[in-house]
């Protein structure tokens, strides 16, 4: 999943959630971290950054 960080555009509703908080919530439900990356915005918005997260179900969890 991708998490957008930065100012909220007019007319949009967003929630401030960190990548680490999202990973921690996933762990509580049996998910394992596979990837965490950070990148700048590809549209040139200096105040916007992105976190990329990948998680998978822990083996043996149903």
> Is residue 51 within 8 Å of residue 3, measured between CB atoms?
yes
In contact, 23 and 55? CB cutoff 8 Å: yes
- The tens digit of pLDDT for each residue in 1-46 reads 999 999 999 999 999 999 999 999 999 999 999 999 999 999 999 9
**What is the per-residue pLDDT across 36-60, written as a single tens digit (0 to 9) for each?**
999 999 999 999 999 999 999 987 6
Cα→Cα distances 61→11, 21, 41, 45, 51, Å = 40, 21, 36, 40, 26
Torsional sign, CA 7, 12, 16, 21: negative
């Amino acid at each position: 999943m991708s998490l957008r960080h930065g100012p909220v555009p007019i007319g949009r509703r967003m929630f401030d959630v960190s990548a680490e908080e999202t990973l921690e919530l996933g762990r509580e439900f049996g998910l394992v971290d596979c990837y965490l990356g950070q990148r700048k915005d590809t549209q040139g918005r200096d105040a916007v950054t992105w976190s990329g997260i990948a998680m998978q179900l822990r083996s043996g969890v149903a």
